[in-house]
Amino acid sequence: MGNGPHTKLIIMAYFNNAFNKTFIADSTLATANTATGALAAGQLALVDGSDWESVALAGGAAVPAIAAGDLAYVVQGSFYTKDTIGNNPGHGGYKESVKSKGINPRYITRLWETNCTVASQATAQLCLASDCAPCGKTQFMRIDVKGSPALRFLNHNAYAIADSANVCCIDGQEYIDPALIMGNMMDMALMDPLIKPFVAEGDVNGLLEGAGLTLSGGTGYAVGLSATTAVDINGTAITAVTRPGFVNAQVSVLAVAGGVIAALPGGLDISQAGSGYKVGDVVTLSAGNADATLTVAAAGLTAGGVVVTSTTAAGVVTNAVYSIAQAKGTAASGNYVPSTDPNGSVKISACTSVVGAYVDTVFGNCSFDTRDHFNAEPVEIILSSLDETGDPCNDCGVATRTPGSMQQTQGEEVIRDLIMSERYRQSPYNQGNASSARIREIEMSDELLAAVDRSATYKAYYIQHSVPRFNNPTGVFDNDQYVYKVYVKCSDTAAQTAYELLMTGLANWASDNGNKLVVEQNAVW
């Protein structure tokens, strides 16, 4: 406590943690005067404690109409479909709405949200130059698999070594085509029983001429003009940083009509297929007065994990994408024809890509147990090129890798938080017994399981506030601290937009009461 006009109440937390409560928001009520008992299952509302009815959420700088001195509550409609268990009034009240503690605008301490972050696979790439595989020498490749999935599956990290011992040269040949080497070594590595569960061939898509490419013609073009610019569906230029392994396609104009590029298939020629594309990417022909674009569709892609690059003496570079089987020459069609002189006037180099592919065991809701493991860590993949002595520090072979990213706030975490929150409300959740599935059906725990998509990613919103205790027997001014976690499906943008009105309303209400707050974006919990 200070003295005079600068008197300030200092509120201290007796414990440095907060009480947690979980809500699942399918929708948020933005209109006023709806009673808490009328809220649908999973529907949230900001409620005025004076009349227990919803307040309007206008967004912008609007302040919710809550009278001075009144408390607000975050309220959600119950997920339970029956009010009692077995018609026993001693086990009732389950359909009552779920409520937060009373929120005083002066004691809201923090409002924040996290971004939706989906899991991404780890990738690894190995490239060999045209002179990396001399005839008479065996090439080796090592693949390492590390991380939680491998340790849980094998109790140790895994590795395998593949070689090119079954690739032969013809008389007079000096070097082996690196694409053929890559196809054979990667096929051997991915067939290893310790590696196969964790790693799969990369899907490095290359463009196909004509099919599946939607042309916007543009103007000001002449025959022979080329395009090497590419952007993704958001208009962002695609680079090796944003798209690992990406190589620009090259598109040549073959015919124009009045300065406008003629329609496919006869008006354009994809002389360089490129790699790293996906459906929706846009290739921009920037040589004309007005850009023309090719939009990539599924039919316009060829899939594979091997990119073969040919470089002429004049410096003309051409790329093509093959599957590992095609590079090895064992596919049903489209097999790569290896060069017998890959280090000659036309230099042949090749890169191969793999991705993490481990899928953990997941049980359905009927047998769900909160003690079940759920994987959050992607597998880590490391490729390296070895010489005949096993030394990875050699002049040939360039290895790169991109770590995978963890999924944030996956449904497996959300359902566990919800069950824990309901258990604090004395709602039962039975597990571990032979009859648990039936008991959960009787006790309506199945309604909780149905409320969460365990395979989905959720966005998390947080409200932190304090409830002071001014007559604590310890003689210390302290408070109880609460954090409300509100989960909204990342795929449900409408529900996100609606709930953000509630967060904005709380921030405006707090600021209007002398407690300047903003909703923190992508903050850390």
222-279 per-position pLDDT tens digit: 888 888 788 887 778 887 777 766 777 888 888 888 888 887 767 888 877 778 888 8
pLDDT higher for 421 or 229?
Answer: 421
* Lowest mean per-residue pLDDT among 123-132, 213-222, 265-274: 265-274
Other CB atoms within a 10 A radius of the CB of residue 208 amount to 16
Residue 193 belongs to some domain of the structure: no
Q: Based on the domain organization, do 20 and 112 belong to the same domain?
A: yes
pLDDT of 451 higher than 50 = yes
pLDDT higher for 166 or 355?
Answer: 355
Q: What is the structure's pLDDT at 321? A: 87
Q: What does pLDDT average to over the chain?
A: 87
Q: Based on the domain organization, do 423 and 513 belong to the same domain?
A: yes
pLDDT of 525 higher than 70 = no
* Lowest mean per-residue pLDDT among 126-130, 285-289, 430-434, 448-452: 285-289
Residue 185 belongs to some domain of the structure: no
Q: Based on the domain organization, do 103 and 20 belong to the same domain?
A: yes
Q: Based on the domain organization, do 97 and 134 belong to the same domain?
A: no
- Among 252, 270, 301, the domain boundary falls at 301
Q: Based on the domain organization, do 175 and 316 belong to the same domain?
A: yes
Q: Which residues contact 407 (CB under 8 A, 6 or more apart)?
A: 117, 118, 119, 376, 457
- pLDDT tens track for 471-486: 766 656 567 899 999 9
As a whole number, mean pLDDT of residues 403-410 equals 83
49, amino acid identity: G
- pLDDT tens track for 183-195: 999 999 999 999 9
Write out the E strands in 77-122: 84-85, 88-92, 98-99, 108-113
Q: Based on the domain organization, do 289 and 314 belong to the same domain?
A: no
Contact 463, 103 (CB under 8 A): yes
- Integer distance in angstroms from the first to the last C-alpha of the chain? 30
Residue 331 belongs to some domain of the structure: no
Q: What is the structure's pLDDT at 1? A: 42
Q: How far is CA 44 from the centre of its chain?
A: 26
Q: Based on the domain organization, do 170 and 316 belong to the same domain?
A: yes
Q: Based on the domain organization, do 374 and 232 belong to the same domain?
A: no
Q: What is the structure's pLDDT at 39? A: 95
Other CB atoms within a 10 A radius of the CB of residue 209 amount to 16
Q: What is the structure's pLDDT at 10? A: 43
SS3 for 452?
Answer: coil
**Token representation of residue 349:** 């180099």
Largest Cα–Cα distance of the chain, in whole Å? 100
Q: How far, in Å, CA of 445 to CA of 94, rounded?
A: 11
Q: How far is CA 502 from the centre of its chain?
A: 26
**Token representation of residue 256:** 């124009």
Q: To 5 degrees, how large is the angle CA 58–CA 64–CA 65?
A: 120
As a whole number, mean pLDDT of residues 446-468 equals 93
Q: Which residues contact 133 (CB under 8 A, 6 or more apart)?
A: 139, 164, 175, 176, 177, 178, 181, 396
- pLDDT tens track for 495-513: 999 999 999 999 999 999 9
As a whole number, mean pLDDT of residues 45-64 equals 91
HSE of 400, CA atoms in CB hemisphere, 13 A: 11
- Backbone Cα Rg of the chain: 31
Other CB atoms within a 10 A radius of the CB of residue 139 amount to 25
* Residue 24 DSSP class: E
Other CB atoms within a 10 A radius of the CB of residue 521 amount to 9
As a whole number, mean pLDDT of residues 313-321 equals 84
Q: Based on the domain organization, do 314 and 357 belong to the same domain?
A: yes
HSE of 268, CA atoms in CB hemisphere, 13 A: 31
Q: How far, in Å, CA of 233 to CA of 281, rounded?
A: 5
Q: What is the structure's pLDDT at 359? A: 80
Residue 194 belongs to some domain of the structure: no
- pLDDT tens track for 437-446: 999 999 999 9
Q: What is the structure's pLDDT at 499? A: 94
SS3 for 250?
Answer: strand
Q: What is the structure's pLDDT at 245? A: 64
Q: Based on the domain organization, do 261 and 287 belong to the same domain?
A: yes
Element containing residue 43 per DSSP (H, E): strand 43-48
Residue 500 belongs to some domain of the structure: yes
Q: What is the structure's pLDDT at 472? A: 64
Residue 197 belongs to some domain of the structure: no
Q: What is the structure's pLDDT at 226? A: 82
Exposed, middle or buried by CB within 10 Å (0-12, 13-18, 19+), for 435?
Answer: exposed
pLDDT of 171 higher than 60 = yes
Kindly tell me the sign of the dihedral angle through the C-alpha atoms of 10, 15, 16, 21. Answer: negative
Residue 95 belongs to some domain of the structure: yes
Give the residue from 112, 130, 103 showing the smallest Cα distance to 47.
Answer: 103
Domain containing residue 272 = 206-301
Cross-strand bridge partners of residue 268: 253
Contact 445, 35 (CB under 8 A): no
User: Residue 64 to residues 27, 30, 82, 503, 510: CA-CA distances in angstroms?
Assistant: 18, 10, 33, 11, 10
As a whole number, mean pLDDT of residues 38-42 equals 94
pLDDT of 348 higher than 90 = yes
Q: Based on the domain organization, do 244 and 292 belong to the same domain?
A: yes
Give the residue from 68, 45, 128, 496 showing the smallest Cα distance to 307.
Answer: 128
pLDDT of 211 higher than 80 = no
Q: What is the structure's pLDDT at 16? A: 64
Parallel, antiparallel or unpaired: strands 306-311 and 260-261: unpaired
Q: How far, in Å, CA of 164 to CA of 178, rounded?
A: 10
- Among 301, 330, 363, the domain boundary falls at 301
Residue 487 belongs to some domain of the structure: yes
Cross-strand bridge partners of residue 27: 43
pLDDT of 4 higher than 50 = no
pLDDT of 7 higher than 50 = no
Q: How many domains does one find in the chain?
A: 3
- Among 383, 402, 421, the domain boundary falls at 402
Q: How far, in Å, CA of 443 to CA of 91, rounded?
A: 10
Q: Based on the domain organization, do 41 and 129 belong to the same domain?
A: no
